[in-house]
Amino acid sequence: MINFTKENLFYNDYTWTPKKANDPKISGKLDDTRFNWREGEEVLFLINKIILLWDLTRIESCTRIERIIREKLPNSINTQEEVVTWIQINWKNIKLVEIVVGKI
């Protein structure tokens, strides 16, 4: 099993507001807690929960989830549960532009 960390994130412009360890935004189960895609800890928590739920084994899959959240998630999707459900339903149909780092 993998653990997706801050160092693995595709984007580096998240905010990192300190949260208590038992804050439902970054602990426990996925539920109707409001999700903020701009908060790095919330994004990491959600991705790592999806790793467990879907038994993901590749960092590339986690990066895809992060990019889907940032680039494709509709504004009407607001809670942790809604995010996971929307990604699961749309996973195969979502197309992301390939970004090649270091090439001109």
Give the integer Cα–Cα distance in Å for 79 and 56: 22
Give the integer Cα–Cα distance in Å for 92 and 90: 6
DSSP for 87-101, written as a single string: HHHHTTT-------T
pLDDT of 9 above 70: yes
User: What is the pLDDT at residue 96?
Assistant: 86
pLDDT tens across 31-70, in order? 999 999 999 999 999 999 999 999 999 999 999 999 999 9
User: What is the pLDDT at residue 28?
Assistant: 93
